[in-house]
Amino acid sequence: MNWIALIIAGIFEIGWPLGIKMSQQPDGNKFGWIFLSVICMTISGALLWYAQKAIPIGTAYAVWTGIGAVGTLLVGIVFFHDSANVFRLLSALLIVVGIVGLKLF
C-alpha cells in the first residue's frame, strides 16, 4: 500500500507545477489554478508522509520527485510544446532507470 501511495503522491506532484503554469495563461482562472496547485501539494505531501512509514526516506523522496519531474516534463512536451529533443528524453530515461534501481536494490 505504501508504494501505491508513493506513486499517487508522485502523480499529484505533477499537478502543482501544472496549476502554476495554467495560472499564467491570459484567459485562465488564475486563483482557481493556484488553488488546485495548493491542493495537489497538500495531497502529494500527505501521501509522501504516509509512504515514508515503510519506505526509506531517500528512496521515497527520489521516487516522488522523479515521478514529478518526468511527469511534468511529459506534460510540458505534450500540452505546452516544450522541446522533446533526444537529450532531454534520454535524461528523463536516466531518471526512470534510477527510480527502478532504487525500488529493486
Percent of residues, the chain, with pLDDT higher than 70: 100
CB atoms within 10 A of CB 96: 13
pLDDT value at residue 13: 97
Name the more confident of 105 and 15: 15
Reading the block at residue 6, the C-alpha cell is 508513493
- Number of domains within the chain: 1
What is the C-alpha to C-alpha distance for residues 105 and 78, in angstroms, rounded to an integer? 32
In this prediction, residues 39-68 reach a mean pLDDT of 97
Percent of residues, the chain, with pLDDT higher than 90: 91
Boundaries of domain holding 97: 2-104
**Residue in the structure block whose three cell numbers are 505531501:** 45
Q: What value does the mean pLDDT of the chain take?
A: 95
In this prediction, residues 25-46 reach a mean pLDDT of 95
Which among 95, 77, 81, 80 is positioned nearest to 20, based on CA atoms? 80
Residues 46-60 pLDDT 10s: 999 999 999 999 999
3-class secondary-structure state, position 32: helix
